[in-house]
Chain A
Amino acid sequence: MTDAHGPAAAHEPAGTPDLADVVRAARAEGRGLKVVGAGKWSGEGTPAARVRDGADQVTLRRLSGIVAYVPGDLTLTARAGTTLAELDDATRAHGQWCPLCPWGTDDGTIGATFATATTGPFGAALGRPRDLALGIEFVDGEGAVARGGGRVVKNVAGFDLVRLMVGAFGTLGIITEVTVRLRAIPAADVTVLIVPAGGGVRGASPPAGAKWPPAAGSSSIERDAAVADALIAAEVAPSGCAVLDQHDARLLGVPAGAVVARYMGSTALVRAGVAEAGRLGTVTETDGRFWTSYRARDPHPRMLRGSPLSISVARRLKGRFDPGSVLNPGILGEDAE
C-alpha cells in the first residue's frame, strides 16, 4: 500500500550525519520512517509490524562496527547495526562477553536490542538492557544528533537520555551508537537438566528458604515452575532457568518434565549450585547450546496495554523529540482509535 506521498523508499545511511539528513528530509516532506536493524524483530505480530503503511524504511545495517573497546575497562562502544554475533566474536577473544543474550538470534543488532529493550533468559540475574547500557547516541525526529551517558560504568551527569531511549522502540530517537557493560567469561559455565524426583518430590530435600514441595495434585508444568522457584531461591542461584511445556521440550530435545538451569561463576560456586539442584531431582549436565535454540524458539510477544501516549509525560516527550511523528509512526498504537 502507498500513501499520498507516493511509494515508500528505502534508505541505508552509512553514517550518523547521513541518517540525520534522511530524518530531516522526511520531517520536511511529512513522511514517516520505519527503522530497521537486521529486521529480526519486525515480523508478523511484532510491534514493528504496526508501523504505518507508506513509511520509508531506514535500515541501519551499514551503520555498524565497534567504535571503542578497552578490555580492561569491560566496556564496549558499537554502532547500532553491529550484530550480537560480531560483538560476541570481538569480546570472546579477550575472555569477555556481553550478557544481553536477548530473545531471538545473534544476527539481531545491538541497536535493536536496546531500542526494544529485549531481555532474555539471563536478564534477571545478569542485567536487562536498561541496566547494561552506559551511553547512547541518537538522532531525534528533527534530525538533531545527541548523546547521553558515556563510556564509564557510573555516571549521573545530566538528565538520563540513556534510559529514555532504551525501550522507546525508536519513537523518540533512532539509536546510532551504544556503549555496553561487559563481563569476564566465568571459570565455570555449566547447563544442567533437572528431572524432578519422580513421583517422590516430597522426598527431595529443598534448598533453604524455598517454597517446597509443590502443592499436591500439581500439573507437570506447575511442578517444574516450583522447581525453578526453588532453584532461584537457593543460596547459589542459577543465571538462567527454563521451564518448558511438552511441545517446546520435544522441539528443543529436552526430556519431558525437565527444568534447564545454567550456573556460571567460579568452579567451586558452580559445583555448589549443581549440588543444590541435585536435592530437587536427578541432575545431568547438558550442552550449553540449548540456550541458543531456546532464545531463538521463544517469540516473547510484546504487549501494548492501552496507549503509552495516554500518559501526559509520554505525550509531551513524543511532541518534543518527534513533533512530526516521523519515527516509527503507529508503533505505539496511535492509529488504533
Chain B
Amino acid sequence: MDQLARALSGIVGPQHVITRAAELLVYENDGLPGYRLRPRFVVAPGNRAEAIAVVRALAAANAPFVARGAGTGLSAGSLADGIVMIGLHRMRQIYSIDPVGRTATVEPGVVNARLSKAAAPYGLHYAPDPSSQTACSIGGNVAENAGGPHCLKYGVTLNHVLHATVVLPDGELIELAAPRDDEIGYDLLGAFVGSEGCFGVAVDVTVRLTPNPARVCTMLADFPALDGAAKAVSAIIAAGIVPAALELVDAGTIAAVEASIYAAGYPTDVEACLLVEVDGPAAGLDDDTAAVQRICRENGARAVRTATDSSDRERLWQGRKKAFGAMGRVAPHLVVQDAVVPRTRLAPVLRRIGEIAERHRVRVCNVFHAGDGNLHPNIPCDGNDADEMARVHAACREIMEVCIGEGGTITGEHGVGLDKQPYMDMLFSPESLDAMCRLRDAFDPARRANPGKVVPVRYCREWNASPSARKAVGAAP
C-alpha cells in the first residue's frame, strides 16, 4: 500500500481507502463513454471532519486530487489520472431542514432525489432536477452547476445554493454565503458553484427548498414536423408564458423509449413531441394551458394531450427522464452531448444536426430542454468500434461548431471537464481563458484540485511562465 494511502486510512479507516485495481474499476469512468482513467487510489471520508482532515493531509503531501460525488457526470470531469480521488459518496447526512425558512443543510454526498423526498412532508422540494436525480449528489450538482427540466422556470443550481462550507485545496476552511443586498463583497459562492471541483471541496451545502406548486398541468403535443415543434418552443416563451418545463423529444428517442420498459405512450409516427408542463396557483393555470395548446396547434401540432391524473403525468415524464436508459436497447454505449443555442435558432440547428449525422453515418437522438435552448444530441454507439467512435467524435465536433456559430455555447449543464476542452478556445479568447485561470488560482494557487480540467493549461499565462511551479505539483497533463 502506498505511504499516502496508509496515512489517509488513519483518518477514514482502512476499509475506506480503495487501492486494489479490481475495486478501482468503478472509479475509472463517469457517465460519458470514451474516457477511462485510473486513480492512484480512492479515499472516502465519512463525515465533515474526516473530509477536512483528508484534504489537509493531501495538502501536506503536496498531492493533487480529484473530488467525486456519485460519478454520474457527463464530461469526464471527475476522472483522476493516476492521482488521488476523494469519494464523497459516504457523506450522505441531511443535517437539517428548516420548513419555515425553506432551507436544508446537507453533506455533499446526499442524493438529489433523496433531499426532495425528505422535504416532501413539508410541502417542499429541491427544484434543480437533473435527469440523473435518483443517483447524482448535491455536491456534484454544485460542482457542475447542474440544471434539469424544471430549471426553465425555477433556475439552475446557482440560484438555489445559499451557503457552502468549503475546504480549499491548501486546507483552509472558508464559509461562502450568497451575497447580501446591503453589503459589499465578492460573490465567491457564485464563482464556486460550477467550478467543477477545481476550487476546493464543499463539505456542507445549504440550499433553498421550493414550495410544491398548488397545481400542475402536463401536456404532450405531437408534431409531424420537427421544425414546427422548435418554432412552438419560441412562440410559447415569447407569449410570456414561463412553463415549469418545456422539453423536446425527437422521433429517434421516441422509438427507443416506446420499445423499452419505459414506454410512455408517445406517438411513434411523428418527428417530435413537446412535453410542456405549467404549474403554479390554480388561478391563471387554465389560461396558460389553453394558450400552450393554441400555440402548439398554430405551429402544426396534430394533437395535444393533457395528463389527467398524477400517474398519467408520471408516465409522460418517464418517457423523458428515462430516455437515456431506454437508449441501452439501441447500442451498448450512449454519448450524451450538451450544448446551448439561442432559442430562436433551434429549428435551423436541429436541421444542421440531422445533416451532420447523415454525413458521418451516426444516429443522433435529440431529447432536450428546449425552453432554454439547451440541446442534448445523443449518439448511441459501440464504444469498442474504433471506426464508429471516430465518426461519433467528428460529428460531435461539427455539432459544437454549429452551436458556437449560431451564438451558442458548448455546455449548458454538463460542464467542460475533459470532453469539452478542445472547444474552449473556439468560444473564448486567450485573454478570457487566462482570466479564468486566474480565478481558479485565487482558490487553488498550487492547482492541485482537479488539475488539467476545464481550461487547457496552455492558456494560463502565469502557469506557463513558471515551470518550477508545474514541476512542484507534478500533475497536469
Contact = CB atoms under 8 A, between A and B. Distances in A.
Contacts of A72: 234, 238, 343-344
Contact of A159 (B147, B187, B282, B454): B454
Contacts of B182: 300-303
A61 to B, nearest CB: 24
A149 B102 CA distance: 30
Contacts, number: 228
Nearest to A211: B100
A160 B195 contact: yes
Contact of A235 (B144, B214, B374): B214
B69 interface: no
B284 A144 contact: no
B321 interface: no
Interface string B164-181: 000010001010000101
Residue of B184, B280, B445 with most chain A CB atoms under a 10 A cut-off: B184
A123 B214 CA distance: 23
B434 interface: yes
A160 B454 CA distance: 11
B373 A154 contact: yes
Given A147-B429, A152-B340, A313-B174, A117 B287 contact: no
A271 interface: yes
A168 interface: yes
B288 interface: yes
A155 B240 contact: no
Nearest to A95: B240
A163 B372 contact: no
A317 interface: yes
A103 to B, nearest CB: 9
B445 A316 contact: yes
Contact of B411 (A71, A156, A268, A273): A156
Given A146-B431, A185-B240, A235-B281, A154 B186 contact: no
Nearest to B146: A156
B221 interface: no
A85 to B, nearest CB: 22
B429 A146 contact: yes
A308 interface: yes
A270 to B, nearest CB: 8
Interface in A34-82: 47, 70-75
Contact of B190 (A163, A301, A321): A163
A159 B156 CA distance: 16
A286 interface: no
A74 B187 contact: no
Contacts of A304: 183-184
Given A150-B408, A160-B190, A272 B284 contact: yes
A269 B432 contact: no
A261 interface: no
Given A156-B415, A161-B435, A312-B174, A123 B181 contact: yes
Name the interface size band of chain A: 35 or more
B317 interface: no
B238 A184 contact: yes
Contact of A311 (B188, B373, B374): B188
A313 B415 contact: no
B190 A130 contact: yes
Contact of A268 (B287, B372, B413): B287
B284 A265 contact: yes
B447 interface: no
Contacts of A236: 281, 283
A163 B411 contact: no
B130 interface: no
A128 to B, nearest CB: 7
B439 interface: yes
Interface in A275-334: 300-305, 308, 311-314, 316-317, 320-321, 331-332
A272 B191 contact: no
A317 B439 CA distance: 7
Contacts of B179: 117, 130, 167
Contact of B281 (A151, A172, A272, A311): A272
Interface stretch (B47-55, B56-64, B420-428): B420-428
Interface of B: 144-145, 147, 151, 155-156, 158-159, 168, 172, 174, 179, 181-188, 190-191, 193-195, 198, 214, 234, 237-240, 280-284, 286-288, 340-344, 369, 372-374, 407-416, 420, 424, 427-429, 431-436, 438-443, 445, 454-455, 462
Ranked nearest first, the 8 interchain pairs of A and B with the lowest CB-CB distance are A163-B190, A184-B240, A272-B283, A269-B284, A146-B435, A72-B344, A154-B412, A316-B442
Given A73-B373, A235-B214, A308-B184, 5 more contacts: A154-B413, A163-B158, A166-B190, A269-B283, A314-B186
